[in-house]
Amino acid sequence: MTVLALVAGLVLLVAIISVGLARGGRGQAAPGAHPPMALPADLQVRVRALLGENKPVLAVKEVRQATGLGLVDAKRIVDALKSGPLPEPLPYAPGGQGSVADRARTMRDAGDLAGAVSLVQTETGMSAADAERFVSTLS
């Protein structure tokens, strides 16, 4: 019976850690933090148009698809757009200048590991595991 209780405890611990990671333990910004990246002007126009049509969910979806950001960070950007213009795009935005490796390294070094992995996946077609290994080996 004690072995069963130990196994159940370990399973519970793994589940708690997994939920914590899924809720923001993968390099997402802290609550109340500024958006992690800016948006190109044309994307800002599309997002503002969706907000003007009272479609905030589609605005967040548009940001996520264009940037590879997670839900929380994309929502922060959309919320920030409601209150005014965002700064110029950062060089590590998907489709931006520089190699994928350079942009992923910049994102990783800025504390956005999940975004860096997503960028590599989006632009190379790698699996999540391969993209994570690629990002972790960047020097």
pLDDT tens for each residue of 46-90? 888 888 888 999 999 998 888 888 888 888 888 888 877 665 554
Average pLDDT over residues 110-120: 83
| pTM, rounded to two decimals | 0.41
Q: Tell me the two tokens of residue 31.
A: 């609550």
State the pLDDT at residue 57: 93
* Alpha helix positions (H), the chain: 2-22, 41-52, 56-67, 71-83, 100-109, 113-124, 128-137
Q: Tens digits of per-residue pLDDT, 116-139?
A: 888 888 777 788 888 888 888 987
